[in-house]
A and B are shown apart, each in its own frame.
Chain A
Amino acid sequence: MMRDQGYLSDEILVKEARDGSEAHFNALVDRYIGLVYRVAFSVTGSAHEAEDVVQETFLRVFRNLDGFDPSKAAFKTWLLAIARNQSINVLAHLKRKAARFLTRTQAAEDRDNAEEENFPHEMPDAETTLLSKERTQLVQQALAKLPEKQRTALMLKAVEGLSYAEIAEILHTSASAVESLIYRARSKILEEVEQ
């Protein structure tokens, strides 16, 4: 009988998963699938591509779990670094494949769809009612225009609440560089929105 593994720490789940426990690996999937999906979605701007990135990321994690060194990085930052690299590869492929404007149109469509799925119009929450749909779209467009590194840093901070140090590990940079990335991202979005 399978027990709920949700209460165990990442370290224990990783150790057991390494020893071949399917249940413990699946608990890691359940714990991080949302985070990995949002990082992928933030980088690629496409729900469809984000889904592929999620699958590839966890497959890669499974294959490389033996090589993961917990003394060098936390599992979460290691996982998100893999997810980001996968997403960047997909984004580069998309850019080569399609004309730039087509990619943007798709991204806007995907974001609209995702927004509708998560925030149905018949049940808006208090926050959403305060923000007009127009402004939300402006913010999303401004976000899409940011360089990937700025966008990812900002989303990891503002949405996921990761520390500067954790984001620095994922982006392979320093914590002070992360601060600057986030500051520049916010300034650019505000400039765009307030124009």
Chain B
Amino acid sequence: MNCEHYRKQLSRQVDIDLDRALTEELEKHLAACPECRSFRDGVKALNREFHTVGRTQPPVGLAERVKERVDRQRRRDRVLLPAWTRVPLVAMITLAAVGLGNLAGRSISSMLIPDRSEDAVEYTLVTQAPSFADLLTDNGSEENGQ
């Protein structure tokens, strides 16, 4: 086993209780390895240091500011409609749109899906228009003749 393996175990040992066999193995290695002893002492010192300097406290009054902000949000939510009322509302709006579309003489489906017959009319009109040759020879169709 190399030192890195033991150092990983030493890092664990600072955080959790290792089983007895592993602890004995570590102790045996530490007795023979000053570098790993130094690592263990360093990790322990760091932990003490974190306990001291790491426990930063939030600024005074922050909790109150958080509560006030959440309370403002709560009041805003109360003004808005509750969630369960939104579903029928959306359904009503959709139905109203369908109804209005029908009143205007066009169904929603006709607005969304293009009508093929309109294309056909356009095509017919184009084919009935005078050709370039008709214009040159002044031989246009009845409908389009000047």
Chain A residues with CB under 8 Å of chain B are 22, 25-26, 29-30, 33-34, 37-38, 41, 47, 50-51, 54-55, 58-59, 62-63, 114-115, 117-119, 125, 127-128, 131, 135-136, 139-140, 154-155, 157-159, 164, 179-180, 182-183, 186-187, 189-190, 193-194
Contacts and interface: CB of A to CB of B under 8 A. Distances in A.
Given A58-B70, A190-B42, A51 B58 contact: yes
State the majority secondary structure of interface residues on A. helix
Given A26-B67, A187-B7, A119 B73 contact: no
Contact of B57 (A34, A54, A194): A34
A159 B58 contact: no
Interface string B45-63: 0111111111111110011
B45 to A, nearest CB: 8
A62 B73 contact: yes
B42 A54 contact: no
B58 A136 contact: no
A179 B50 contact: no
A38 B55 contact: yes
Given A33-B62, A54-B62, A186-B11, A155 B70 contact: no
Given A55-B66, A128-B52, A183-B11, A22 B42 contact: no
B56 to A, nearest CB: 5
Range, interface on chain B: 20 to 34
A153 to B, nearest CB: 11
Contact of B11 (A25, A62, A127, A179): A179
A37 B43 contact: no
A29 B54 contact: no
A59 B67 CA distance: 9
Contacts of A25: 70
B63 A190 contact: no
B71 interface: yes
A145 B49 CA distance: 17
B15 A136 contact: no
List 3 A-B pairs, minimum CB-CB distance, nearest first. Answer: A159-B54, A37-B58, A158-B50
